[in-house]
């Protein structure tokens, strides 16, 4: 989903439960950043 949102032109993303409902916040944030960075708008 993050790739679709970034591809649609979003440059600010809010990820609350996507981060806080995981055991490893840092790994989740890293994965989200990598997915967003590997997407072209």
Give, in order, the Cα–Cα distances in Å from 22 to each of 8, 10, 30, 38: 26, 24, 13, 22
Phi then psi for 37, rounded to 5 degrees?
Answer: -70, -30
Output the 3-class SS for 1-16: CHHHHHHCCCCCCCCC
The pLDDT score that the predictor gives to residue 16 is 93
The pLDDT score that the predictor gives to residue 37 is 87
* Structural domain range at position 18: 2-37
Average pLDDT, the chain: 90
DSSP summary character for residue 41: -
Total tally of structural domains belonging to the chain: 1
Structure confidence by residue, pLDDT tens digits, 1-34: 888 998 999 989 999 999 999 999 999 999 999 9
Its pTM stands at: 0.74
Q: How confident is the model at residue 41 (pLDDT cuts 50, 70, 90)?
A: low
């Amino acid at each position: 989903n993050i790739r679709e949102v970034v591809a649609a032109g979003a440059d600010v993303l809010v990820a609350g439960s996507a981060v806080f409902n995981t055991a490893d916040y840092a790994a989740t944030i890293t994965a989200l950043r990598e997915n967003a960075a590997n997407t072209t708008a």
